[in-house]
């Protein structure tokens, strides 16, 4: 019995070492960290931890134990939960949807700003617990009431489950503002990455909800604002930059929209989009809308390729406005609330923020824009990671706090 146990232990150690070395090799061969990013060793370490977790998750997925994203989320939630003596945190359920409510303990003679937060993670990663530090910081520094929404994630729950959960939780909160000491005239939706897509989509959906307070502002941090075009300058420039590489972005996209990975090549080449699509939406998505300084030297528009009709049909869901807020008609977007937009230089989704900013400004919607020259996708999530925290994450939080205090 002891012999079998030793054999099992040795086999496990060899497998673990093999996987660890494979991830290091793959990372060094495929990922690129630009010189403009400070602390490259930190980013390399974070990326390695993420890729190692995903690799083991895929192994467990093959063994039909759990999905890869479930395993990564399990590891993320093992981190100790930070507490702050000046903030009261309450776990609630709005129906079946779990939420966390953050309220400053200090007495206040007036109603506070309310912030509804939708965490990022490409719809497959992240959780209320992993965003706890961000919520505590925003609550304390901006003296606001924060509602963090624990929506259901892909691939177990595909689109539109995530969006529906966020709509239900937000509507319930807006109907109960008095119970939480929130000013109905100062409610903000906040989201990063995929959470930013939800925040932007809600700016449209809540327009049709009668009797609800009008949103005061939207705060979007490196938001995913369209799910159709993967050939913009930022995708070509940053496709191998962690933490969000092209491969991971495509994996999130297929998981969220239940699209087969078989269409990878067609999507990357743009063969899933017809000339009619570009005729209708090119005025909003075309690279001419992106400032020249964000286009790499020698960057040329991608060459058109023949349309793959099957890929076009299979990716129909991605062209819905609920998946791609940048496709929202002018008449609706012109009624969007004031925006605070944060973009990062070394992010595949950088151009989403630039295009969204331009559309809002063209329609007369006030925009406060901050660009992190040393930022990368996911940097905000390092705020609570101790020695692995990037200074950029604190700068982003402080800029958001300043914006919220000014409302």
User: Which residues are known catalytic residues?
Assistant: 193, 347, 377
Beta strands in 71-202 (DSSP E): 87-94, 97-104, 112-118, 145-149, 182-192
Contacts of 350 (CB under 8 A, 6+ apart): 222, 234, 238, 294, 343, 344
DSSP 308-353: -HHHHHHTGGGGSTTT-GGG--HHHHTTPPEEEEEEEEE-TTHHHH
The DSSP output letter for 376 is E
Q: How many CA atoms lie within 13 A of 291 on its CB side?
A: 10
Q: Which of 228, 229, 170, 173 lies closest to 201, judged by CA?
A: 170
Is 329 within 8 Å of 363 (Cβ atoms)?
Answer: no
CA distance 175 to 178: 8
Query: With the C-alpha atoms ordered 350, 351, 354, 356, is the resulting torsion angle positive or negative?
Result: negative
Contacts of 373 (CB under 8 A, 6+ apart): 36, 345
CA distance 67 to 56: 10
Query: The tokens 């903000």 sit on which residue?
Result: 188
Q: How many CA atoms lie within 13 A of 297 on its CB side?
A: 0
Contacts of 243 (CB under 8 A, 6+ apart): 43, 46, 47, 50, 376, 377, 378
CA distance 189 to 203: 8
CA distance 180 to 178: 5
């Amino acid at each position: 019995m002891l012999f079998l146990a030793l054999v099992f232990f040795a086999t496990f150690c060899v497998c673990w070492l093999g996987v660890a070395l494979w991830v290091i090799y793959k990372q060094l061969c495929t990922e690129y960290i630009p010189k403009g990013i400070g602390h490259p060793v930190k980013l390399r370490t974070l990326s390695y931890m993420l890729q190692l977790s995903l690799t083991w998750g895929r192994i467990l997925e093959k063994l039909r134990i759990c999905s890869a994203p479930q395993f990564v989320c399990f590891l993320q939630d093992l981190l100790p939960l930070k507490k702050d003596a000046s903030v009261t945190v309450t776990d609630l359920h709005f129906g079946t949807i779990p939420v966390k409510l953050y309220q400053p303990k200090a007495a206040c003679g007036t109603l506070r700003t309310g912030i509804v937060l939708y965490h990022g993670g490409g719809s497959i990663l992240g959780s209320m617990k992993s965003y706890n530090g961000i919520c505590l910081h925003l609550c304390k520094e901006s003296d606001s009431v924060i509602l963090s929404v624990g929506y259901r994630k892909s691939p177990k729950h595909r689109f539109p489950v995530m969006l529906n959960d966020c709509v239900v939780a937000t509507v319930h909160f807006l109907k109960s503002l008095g119970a939480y000491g929130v000013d109905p005239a100062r409610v903000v939706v906040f989201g990063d990455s995929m959470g930013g897509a939800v925040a932007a989509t809600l700016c449209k959906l809540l327009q049709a909800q009668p009797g609800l307070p009008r949103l005061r502002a939207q705060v979007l941090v490196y938001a995913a604002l369209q799910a159709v075009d993967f050939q913009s300058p930022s995708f070509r420039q940053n496709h191998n930059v962690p933490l969000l590489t092209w491969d991971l972005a495509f994996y999130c996209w297929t998981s969220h929209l239940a699209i087969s990975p078989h269409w990878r090549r067609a999507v990357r080449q743009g063969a899933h989009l017809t000339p009619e699509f570009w005729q209708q939406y090119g005025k909003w998505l075309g690279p001419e809308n992106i400032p020249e300084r964000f286009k790499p030297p020698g960057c040329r528009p991608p060459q058109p390729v023949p349309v793959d009709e099957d890929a076009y049909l299979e990716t129909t869901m991605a062209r819905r406005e609920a998946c791609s807020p940048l496709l929202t008609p002018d008449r609706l977007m012109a009624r969007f609330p004031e925006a605070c937009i944060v973009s990062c230089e070394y992010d595949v989704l950088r151009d989403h923020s630039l295009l969204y900013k331009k559309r809002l400004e063209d329609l007369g919607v006030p925009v406060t824009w901050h660009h992190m020259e040393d930022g990368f996708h996911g940097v905000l999530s390092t705020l609570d990671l101790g020695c692995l925290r990037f200074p950029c994450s604190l700068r982003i939080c402080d800029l958001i706090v300043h914006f919220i205090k000014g409302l």
